[in-house]
Amino acid sequence: MKAVIQSSFEGITALKLRDILEPHMSAMSVLIKNRYTPVIPWDWLSEEGQLQNFNPVKLPRIIGYSFGGIVEKVGALRNQKLLGKKVFGFNPQGTHTQLINSQIPPLLIEVPTKVSLEDATTIIGGADAALLAVKQSKIRPNDIVLVTGATGGVGSYLIQLLKLMKTTVIAFTRKENYSFAQNLGADYIIDFTQDIKHQLQLVPKPNKIIDTAGSVPLLDTISHNYEKLTIFSLSLPKYKPINSIQTFSFSNKSIGIKGYQQLLSMLENKQISASINQILPFQEVIQAQQIAKFRPSQGRILLEY
């Protein structure tokens, strides 16, 4: 079977498609025919070696940590009712491969009939991060929340969750994404490539920032315009606020099984919707990562197997 292999820390273009042995079934195995993997910043940051202090990996390795697929075989000690079901989850041994051997039960979640596998695959590294941000930021209905990276795989879910909380949302994105951000529910939109200070004068004063972009210069530019701010980041472990009455926090905690079930229910009931930019064959992984990293994004890119 085929797998996408990282053999160095030389970045996206060093990825290789290799033939590897099919996984060996055990009593604890659930063998999944992979259908989709999301393309997320975690991928290329790992490939550039930027996460080694935070999440060290040994090379060579199969890239990726989340997937969506169909269960083909089930080991004797696993739930036999999973056979033939749609599932999504994590796999510590990598996910950019045609077959996945899931041996840790909590990391596999069944997808409801009314939720497409494509949509479910956008949850990990997308909707889960957005839900975490809402909880960690202690969002309230009267909050005015500024969101950086507002139309990406996380931001597109975040806007929807914030509007369900009846907050006012100021979305930072590019001009070409304005209509997309409006359709998600953003109340005000700022083009971060233009004069930010002037644009901030035309919108309500935010009391909270949720950062998904991970840009220190951008956060500096924004926070220079305000005295008091609560800043939460999903992308920057460390950031020094402009003054002492601005606060900063970072988290990448898990939302737990209940959190994932909540998001699946919200997708099933159409309270939120997945935003999929495009779906590319997994053989085009280098192109897909380059698009996600360097071009304006409207939702998540998926690879198909």
For the segment 87-146, what is each residue's pLDDT rounded down to a tens digit? 999 998 999 999 999 998 888 999 999 999 999 999 999 999 999 999 999 999 999 999
Q: Which pLDDT value is given to residue 259? A: 97
Q: For residue range 257-287, what is the model confidence (pLDDT) as tens digits?
A: 999 999 999 999 999 999 999 999 999 999 9
Q: What is the pLDDT of residues 114-126, one digit of tens each?
A: 999 999 999 999 9
Once rounded to an integer, what is the mean pLDDT over residues 185-213? 97
Q: Which tens digits make up the pLDDT trace of 42-81?
A: 899 999 999 898 889 999 999 999 999 999 999 999 999 9
Contact present, 44 and 293 (Cβ < 8 Å)? yes
pLDDT of residue 297: 80
Q: What is the pLDDT of residue 195?
A: 97
Q: Tell me: the pLDDT tens digits for 145-167? A: 999 999 999 999 999 999 999 99
Per-chain mean pLDDT for the chain: 96
The pLDDT value recorded for residue 144 is: 98
Tokens of 62: 């199969």
Strand partners, 33: 70, 99
pLDDT for the residue 295: 85
Average pLDDT over every residue of 225-230: 96
Residue 296 reports pLDDT greater than 80: no
| pLDDT attached to residue 106 | 81
